[in-house]
Amino acid sequence: MEDIKTDRPNVVTGPLGEPMSRDTLPPANTRRWVVRRKAEVVSAVNGGLLTIAEACERYDLTLEELASWQRSIEREGMAGLRATRVQHYRQVHERRGRFS
C-alpha cells in the first residue's frame, strides 16, 4: 500500500494579512465564534492548511455552517460574518437577485 502525501502549506496568509499556521489557529474547543476566528478558519481552509472535513471535525461545525462563512466572506468580506448583520446582507442579496 502506498502512502499518499499531500502537499499542504505549513503557513497561509490570514484574514488580516498575517502568517497563520496550524499552531496559530483558533483552539479546537472554541465555542464563541467572533468574526476574526471565523475568518481564520475560512482562510485556513481556502489556503489549504485544513481540509473542509478537518475544519468541521476540529471545530464541531456543520458543512452548511462553514459554507455560509465562506459565502459571507466572498460577498461582504469579514463584515459579513457579524451575526447581527446576517439578515441584512441576506435581504440585500435577495433584492439584487430579483432586480438584476
Rounded CA separation 85/28 (Å): 26
For residue 70, give its domain range. 33-99
Sequence letter at residue 93: H
pLDDT of residue 10 exceeding 50, the answer is: yes
What are the C-alpha distances in Å from 51 to residues 7, 48, 58, 67, 78? 12, 6, 10, 13, 21
The 10s digit of each residue's pLDDT in 30-87 is 999 999 999 999 999 999 999 999 999 999 999 999 999 999 999 899 998 987 655 5
Residue 75 lies in a domain: yes
pLDDT at 83 (0 to 100): 75
pLDDT at 1 (0 to 100): 45
Residue 92 lies in a domain: yes
Residue 16 lies in a domain: no
pLDDT at 23 (0 to 100): 96
What angle do helix axes 63-76 and 35-47 make, rounded to 10 degrees? 100
pLDDT at 24 (0 to 100): 97
**Cβ neighbour number for residue 12 with a 10 Å cutoff:** 19
Q: What CATH number does the domain containing 54 carry?
A: 1.10.10.10
pLDDT at 99 (0 to 100): 55
